[in-house]
Structure 1
Amino acid sequence: MSPLDLQVNGYAGTDFNRDGLTAEALHHACECLVEDGCDSILATFITDSIDAMSERMSRLVELREQDSLAQKVIAGIHIEGPFTNPEKGYVGAHPPQHVKPATLEDAKRLLDAAGGLTKIVTLAPEFDQKFHTTEFLANNGVTVSAGHCNPSLEVLRASTEHGLSMFTHVGNGCPMTMHRHDNIIQRALSLRDKLWLCFIPDGVHIEFFALVNYLRTAGLEKTIFVTDAISASRLGPGKYTLAGWDIVIGEDLVARSPDGSHFVGSTVTIPRILTNGQQHLGLSKAELQLLLDTNPRKAVGLT
C-alpha cells in the first residue's frame, strides 16, 4: 500500500500554513510522513489573505525544488479556501475575515503561487457566481471540491455539471445543529454517483458508528480517507498553532480551539487510520488500500 493523503496542513511540528517555513522543517515533516507509512501527500493551505496564502505556497514550492525527498512526498498542493462560506459553523477553523467569494483573478493568483502543483481547490459552490471559477479550475486540470459550504441541492448538483467532482471532509465544516433531513451531509451523500466523498476517520470528526452508515450509503468505490493532519500530528498533547490559530491537544489527541468550541484539523495519522479502519469500521486491508491509495490517486489524476 502506498497511501496518498489529500489533506495535510502540517506534520510532526511543521506547519505548512506558517510564514517562514524552513528547509529543515519541511524535510523533517517528509521524513516523519514516510516513517509513518504515508507515501505522498497534498500539502494543504487554508484560508488567509490571498497575499499570505500565495507567499506560503511559493515558499513551499521553492523549498521542495531543492529537496529530493520533498519532491517525492509532496505530490501536489490542496488549496482549501478562501472561497468558502463565512457563516459560523460552515466556516470552521478558517478565519472569517479572509473568507471571500470566488473570482477568476484570485484563483489565478493562487494557482500561479502554487507553481503548477495545485491538485485540489476546496470552495463553496454557492459563492462561485455562475460556477465560473469551478469551470476554470476544472478546465485547468484541478480537482474542484465542495467544502465549508451550504449550497442547496440544486446548486450543488449544478456545480457538478461545471466541473465539481469531490466533497471535502463530509460531515465536518458544518454546524453541530442543522435541519434533520435537508442538510449538507445528506445533499453530498445523495450525489455519491457524481462526487468523490472524503472522510476523516478518527472517530472524533465523525463517530465511528455514523461513519459506518455513511460508508454504506456512499459505497467504497467513490470514498476517500484523509487525515486533515496539522503540525501537532505525531507529537501528543500540548499547545500548538495552525495558521495563527492557537490549538490545544488534549489527552484524547483531539485538536480543538482554546475555547473548545470546534475542531481545528486533526492529529490522526495513517497508522491510526489503518487501526481504526479494521477495528472500528470493519474494513479489510484491501478496502483500506482502495480508500487510502487507489481512490485518492484516481480522484486527482495521480494513478
Structure 2
Amino acid sequence: MTLTGHILTPTGWQWGTLEILEGAITAVTPADKATPPGTDAPYLVPGFIDLHVHGGGGSDAMEAGEAAHVMASTHARFGTTSLLATTMTAPMADIEAALDAIAEAMRHQAPDEARLLGVHLEGPFIHPDKLGAQPPYACPGTPAQFDTLLARAPIKVMTLAPDIEGHDALITHATARQVRVQIGHTCGTFEDGCTALSRGASGFTHLYNAMTPLGHRNAGIVGAALAHATFCEIIPDLVHVEAGAMHAAMRAIPRLYGITDATAAAGMPEGEYRLGAQRVFKQGDSVRLEDGTLAGSALTMNQALKNFMTLGDTLAQAVHRLSTWPAEYLGLSDRGVLAPGRRADVLALDRDGNLQGVWIGGQRVEADHG
C-alpha cells in the first residue's frame, strides 16, 4: 500500500509517498519535484498517542468487561492510534478488576481499535484533599501494593502525590520498574515537586488541575513543573486550562504534550455518563459532576490538535505534542514518527488540521470527520 501527500518526517515536511507493508512503513520516497502537490493533497502525520484516557463511546475503563475495547475503537475514529487506559481512585478490588480487564483486552484487540499500550494508574495513591473529581478512596501506597497491581497489568504511568508519607520510596521503586511516575492530585510544595523529580518522577498529571498553584511567594507544584519539567501532560480543551496559562506552559516546558483525560462521554451526545462509580454530565464542551466540578473531559485528539493550532502552534508542532512527544516520553521506538521501520499508524489531515483518514498498523479504519 502507498499513501501520497505532504509527509511529516523527522526532518520536516516532504512531498512524497509512504510505502507500507505488513503494518510497517518500509520507505518514505520523495516524489518528482516537478509534480505539483496541489492544494488538496493530504498532510500525512503519525497517529495520536493519548497517555491519559478514562473512557469513550459510553464506556469507562473502571467498568471492566468490554469497556477497554469500546473506548479504544471510539478514540480510533478521532485519530488516536495508541492509548493508555486510565483507572480511577476506587476500592482496591475495583482497581484490580479493571486492570484484569484491560490486560485481557490487550491480548485480543480488533484491527479498528487504538492499540492499548497499558495502564495509567491515576490513584489511589493521591492526596485526599486534592481529589478533583476522584471519589474518596485515596490511600498511601507501598511498594508491595504497587507490585500487586503491576502483576495484573502493564502499568506504564502512575500518578501519585509526593507529599504523602512513604511516597518517596514508592517513586524510587516504581521508577526502577520502568514506570513513569507523575506528580498530581497533590497538596505538595515546590520543594516536594523538586524532591520527587530528583527521586525519579518524570512528569506532571494534567498540569494546573488538582495541584498547588503558582504563587510568587509560594511556587507550588505548578511552579516546579514550569521551572523543571521536560515532559508534562496538559488537557488542551480550553476549559480545564485557559489560553493564557496554556501559553505559559507551552513556552516553559520543552515537551509539553496533550492528553484528553476523556470520559465515557467522549464521542457521545450530551447526557449522563459514568466516571468510575460516579455520575457525570456532558453539557457543551465540558463534563462535570452534579455539583459542577470538572470531571475529565469529552475531548478527542483531533480537536486537541486544532486547539493547539488556535494557540499558535503550527500543524507540525501540534502533531509533536500529540504523537511524537508522548511516544518519546514512554520510550516507544516503534511509533510517533513516520520513518522506515516504524508502525504504519498514520493520519491524513487537511492543511487546517481536519481529520481525513486513519490507518492503524496499515489498516484503514473509520474516521470521524466532524
Q: TM-score, with normalisation over the residues of structure 2?
A: 0.73
Residue of 34, 50, 55 corresponding to 1:10:
55
Confirm whether residue 289 of structure 1 aligns to residue 319 of structure 2.
yes
**For residues 198 and 64 of structure 1, what CA distance do their matches in structure 2 show?**
24
3-state SS, counterpart of residue 171 of structure 2: helix
Q: Any gaps of 5 or more consecutive residues in structure 1?
A: none
**For residues 70 and 80 of structure 1, what CA distance do their matches in structure 2 show?**
26
Residue of 49, 65, 86 corresponding to 1:21:
65
**For residues 189 and 144 of structure 1, what CA distance do their matches in structure 2 show?**
17
3-state SS, counterpart of residue 213 of structure 1: helix
Matches within 5 A, 1:17-166: 17-18=62-63, 20-22=64-66, 25-69=67-111, 73-87=115-129, 90-96=130-136, 98-114=137-153, 117-129=154-166, 131-166=168-203
Quote how far apart the aligned CAs of 1:31 are: 2.2
Quote how far apart the aligned CAs of 1:263 are: 0.6
**1:2, 1:39 within 8 Å by CA — same for their partners in 2?**
yes
**For residues 49 and 28 of structure 1, what CA distance do their matches in structure 2 show?**
23
Residue of 264, 281, 286 corresponding to 1:254:
286
Quote how far apart the aligned CAs of 1:213 are: 2.1
**For residues 111 and 199 of structure 2, what CA distance do their matches in structure 1 show?**
36
Amino acid at match of 1:104: P
Amino acid at match of 2:146: A
Matches within 5 A, 1:210-225: 210-218=245-253, 221-225=254-258
Post-superposition Cα deviations, 1:126-176, rounded to whole Å, max 9, x if no partner, equal 11526111111110110111010122222221211211011011011147x
Residue of 299, 306, 314 corresponding to 1:275:
306
Query: How many residue pairs align between the two structures?
Result: 287
Q: Which has the higher strand share?
A: 2
Amino acid at match of 2:246: L
Larger radius of gyration: 2
> What percent identity do the matched residue pairs reach?
28
**For residues 36 and 76 of structure 1, what CA distance do their matches in structure 2 show?**
20
**For residues 244 and 89 of structure 2, what CA distance do their matches in structure 1 show?**
31
Residue of 320, 329, 348 corresponding to 1:299:
329
**1:229, 1:266 within 8 Å by CA — same for their partners in 2?**
yes
Do the aligned partners of residues 196 and 68 (structure 1) sit closer, same or farther apart at CA in structure 2, a change above 3 Å counting?
same
Post-superposition Cα deviations, 1:262-294, rounded to whole Å, max 9, x if no partner, equal 111111111111111112x11111111211111
Amino acid at match of 1:92: G
3-state SS, counterpart of residue 264 of structure 1: strand
**1:65, 1:71 within 8 Å by CA — same for their partners in 2?**
no
Quote how far apart the aligned CAs of 1:37 are: 0.8
Quote how far apart the aligned CAs of 1:27 are: 3.1
**For residues 35 and 71 of structure 1, what CA distance do their matches in structure 2 show?**
9
**1:149, 1:173 within 8 Å by CA — same for their partners in 2?**
yes
**For residues 230 and 126 of structure 1, what CA distance do their matches in structure 2 show?**
27
**For residues 13 and 228 of structure 1, what CA distance do their matches in structure 2 show?**
14
Amino acid at match of 2:243: F
**2:161, 2:167 within 8 Å by CA — same for their partners in 1?**
no
Residue of 256, 259, 265 corresponding to 1:226:
259
- Comparing 208-217 with 139-148, greater Cα deviation is found at 208-217
Q: Which has the higher helix share?
A: 1
Residue of 294, 297, 312 corresponding to 1:266:
297
Residue 191 of structure 1: aligned partner = 228
Quote how far apart the aligned CAs of 1:42 are: 0.4
